[in-house]
Amino acid sequence: MSVQDITDIGKEWLTIETVAAASKKSAGARLWASNEFEKRIEEGAAFLDKTLAEHGGIYGVTTGYGDSCTEIVGPENYYDLPVNLTRFHGCGLGEFFDRETTRAIMIVRLNTLAQGYSGVSMDLLRYISFFIEHDILPRIPQEGSVGASGDLTPLSYLAGALIGERDVLYQGRIRSSAEVLKELGMPLYRFRPKEAIAIMNGTAVMNALAVLAYSRAEYLADLACRITAMNSLALKSNAYHFFKRLFEVKPHPGQSLAAEKIRLALRTEATEGLVPERIQDAYSIRCAPHVLGVFYDARELLRRLIETEMNSANDNPIVDPETRSVYHGGHFYGGHICFAMDSLKNIIANIADLLDRQLALLVDVKFNRGLPPNLSGSSGNYAYNHGFKAVQISASAWTAEALKNTMPVSVFSRSTECHNQDKVSMGTIAARDCVRIITLTEQTAAASLLAAAQALRFRLENGDFSGERIAGVEKTYSQVFSYFAPLKDDRAMDRDLLKTMEYIREKFFCV
């Protein structure tokens, strides 16, 4: 890995791409080695110590947490309080986040603390950076956050791992973090006042999920444009539906971009002068730019919300050594991420629905314009060879589940914690829903891509058009058949679908 592939946390504005790459270990992220940076961080910690000594009255340092802020903590317990915070929040349930997501969570949280407004020490940042560098991954349960005060319960598993009280995944084994740290010659971390709440009282979990969701969604939108072009060819559809002039009179930029991507893949100049079989195709073909274009029109807003959040200080209280002030506020609130995820999951589920409807056209002899029933390659033995029939049924099931999960979660705020947290964001649940919808959409895309390639193969074998006609999608077509054996007699398709899913996640297919 070259120096150019490593991001210096504390120096650079983190982007979706840098965090996604580092979470996959195709790039690196490290703490910025700079005297200027270290001075800025230590000034915040020193100011907090001075304020604590001279004035006291700092939430989460001299008080209990949440509704318990009226309870006063004596100086003799300042160092016990953060440890207890990590312990009583150890109630997360559900599946554990995967390696990629866990890395992203640590990188995002380190970056927010590195803004210099959390009153934490360089030692804390170095410890989190050590976990990232050595790929020590806290086991973080997915369930238990309402998204304000941030991701308290899931982030407690990062905080607890630093002090040796939680399990981690290290070198492929689940082990005690205390055991791993001892093996690596690192003492257990001892929290300074406010450091545990600085880790936990923020939006890093939902934010990391949002980063990875956006990265996958962007590729999915591009791939869906390519699949739409393949399906349009396979169905002998009217290429005029995507002509540039048509979209100049309704000029949503993203919609025009989607039409352009489809148009270029179709090489529509080759269709000029041809009389289409049908003047207007079904909406799932004709209106594809209008569905897919919503992502391209929304993506800059989504990117801004996600990247601003992860490059901000978002815990409470904010410790500002520049103005010599401690600000008690609510920056842990994940409303912007919740809005981004509620919006993105709606957009992506609609892409699943679009591809599922296109697949339904391909397998149905009433609509597929001469293709075999269910795209079966069995040379007429259709009574006992059913091709893609069950694949299409499964795609509809995946799509239905995706659509079901589009309910906006932000409207399900619950008053919690003795009505102190009486309005919460639910951003983490929205982000988890979004990731699930993206997975379901990738499954639907995998089914649609295999079916589109099979359908184009029939067209070529039957002489319906020449290889030149699919030149714009030929690379994607060839990529599919580099591992997928054309479906002739019926066989189980799960391995083909899983392989295609894997390639989609790796962004293998030309888009």
Check residue 9 and give left, alpha or beta (phi > 0: left; psi -120 to 50: alpha). Answer: beta
Is position 327 annotated as part of the catalytic site? no
Using the CB atoms, write b or e for 427-449: b if 16+ within 10 Å. bbbbbbbbbebbbbbbbbbbbbb
Could you tell me how many residues make up the chain?
511
Q: Could you give the CA distance from residue 511 to residue 219 in angstroms, rounded to a whole number?
A: 8
- 62: DSSP letter: T
- 316: DSSP letter: S
H-helix or E-strand spanning residue 138: strand 137-138
Which of 164, 160, 108 shows the shortest CA–CA distance to 132? 108
DSSP symbols for 437-493: HHHHHHHHHHHHHHHHHHHHHHHHHTTSS-GGGGGGGHHHHHHHHTTPPP--S----
Q: Could you give the CA distance from residue 54 to residue 185 in angstroms, rounded to a whole number?
A: 37
Q: Could you give the CA distance from residue 144 to residue 456 in angstroms, rounded to a whole number?
A: 47
Q: Could you give the CA distance from residue 66 to residue 419 in angstroms, rounded to a whole number?
A: 9
- 187: DSSP letter: P
- Out of 59, 240, 382, 503, the active site residue is 59
Point out the residues that are catalytic: 59
